[in-house]
Amino acid sequence: MTRVVVVGDLMTDTVARAAYPLAKGSDTPAAVTSHGGGSGANVAAWLALEGAEVAFVGRRGSDIAGRNRDMELMGSGVDARLVMDSERPTGTCVVLVTHKGDRTMLSDPGANSALLPEDIERCKDLFTQGVHFHLSGYSLINEGSRKAAIHALDLARQAQMSVSVDGASSSPLKRMGAEPFLEWTQGARLLVVNAAEAEVLTGRDNPEAAAKVLTAWYPQVVIKNGAEGSLWYTNGRPDAVTVAADPVEKIVDGTGAGDAFIAGFLPPWLDGKPPAEALASGNRLAAQALQHLGARPSLDVLDNPIH
């Protein structure tokens, strides 16, 4: 069984899905719902759906939202190691989804911004050889949790764990700058980014060219390219391995699709399966995420997983 430790962000997503094109300065009918979110927590939940043994380390508020997020993760089969913050609320993200499925996010990290190295130390038992470590890029981008994220990376290296990192989101990554991110994460075995994040890190708008540049820092690079599918590249190969995206009849909500991709990709990749097989698994789970509201597996999917 694949064993993974995820360190990252935990959020409550308030999703407003517009029924029509947004009427700027006026009202637009929408379906408004709340769901568990946070990139790191999403990856953990989708990994559990895939049958992985997964632990998630993060921070939540002492509010009802935090308790609900905690219970959701445990209910999905995740070993949730959440530190309770008595001063800050659980992180919240307002997700605006257009009638076409495009999304814009407004984030308040809340308790996520207070994740401490001591919180990671309390979970030191999870950092053992033979277990994979995945770090959500949001924990590095957020200045408040950065020391904890770097400490987690150090612990993983000391334990000789395989390490993967994702790029979080292009806009905050651009505000922070490419050089610090590349420096802090150098030594990770795998980087997973989307095309926009890859461009921020390399200045290349061609995903394959960006992947080749990124292998100067990471042995293997995966780039998610939306409707175009995904690609994998490593030094020593003349070309990238590319796999087309799974067809999706109707995009309901793109929130969490990239996190689902990571969860689909990691188990076969860690099992040594061909890159094309791992990419196809990631594409499959991303397509599944696109077809329902919210960033986590829906309850009916948890009851009836599709493989």
pLDDT at residue 299 in the model: 55
Give every CB contact of residue 224 below 8 A, 6+ residues apart in sequence.
Answer: 192, 193, 194, 195, 230, 258, 261, 282, 286
Share of the chain above pLDDT 90, in %: 82
Per residue in 237-276, pLDDT tens? 888 999 999 999 888 778 889 999 999 999 999 999 999 9
pLDDT at residue 303 in the model: 40
Question: Who wins on pLDDT, 239 or 136?
Answer: 136
> Given the structure tokens 């770097």, which residue do they identify?
150
- Closest C-alpha to 221, from 170, 183, 260, 278: 278
222, 265 contact by CB (below 8 A): yes
Whole-number Å distance between alpha carbons of 29 and 14: 15
Mean pLDDT of 38-58: 97
Q: How confident is the model at residue 61 (pLDDT cuts 50, 70, 90)?
A: very high
Position 286 pLDDT exceeds 50: yes
Q: Where are the alpha helices (DSSP H) in 144-250?
A: 146-158, 170-176, 178-185, 195-202, 207-214
Poorest-confidence range of 96-100, 141-145, 168-172, 198-202? 96-100
Using alpha carbons, list the distances in angstroms from residue 134 to 35, 94, 117, 145: 22, 25, 16, 15
pLDDT at residue 118 in the model: 97
Q: How confident is the model at residue 175 (pLDDT cuts 50, 70, 90)?
A: very high
Per residue in 196-223, pLDDT tens? 999 999 999 999 999 999 999 999 999 9
Mean pLDDT of 124-152: 97
Per residue in 78-133, pLDDT tens? 999 999 999 999 999 998 888 887 778 899 999 999 999 999 999 999 999 999 99
> What integer best gives the mean pLDDT of the chain?
93
Poorest-confidence range of 234-243, 279-288, 290-299? 290-299
C-alpha 227, offset from chain centre: 18
Mean pLDDT of 3-32: 93
Position 55 pLDDT exceeds 60: yes
pLDDT at residue 306 in the model: 39
- Written as six digits, the tokens of 303 are 């009851």
pLDDT at residue 100 in the model: 80
* Topology of the domain comprising 4-10+38-88+110-301: UDP-N-acetylmuramoyl-L-alanine:D-glutamate ligase (3.40.1190)
pLDDT at residue 179 in the model: 96
Position 225 pLDDT exceeds 90: yes
Position 140 pLDDT exceeds 90: yes
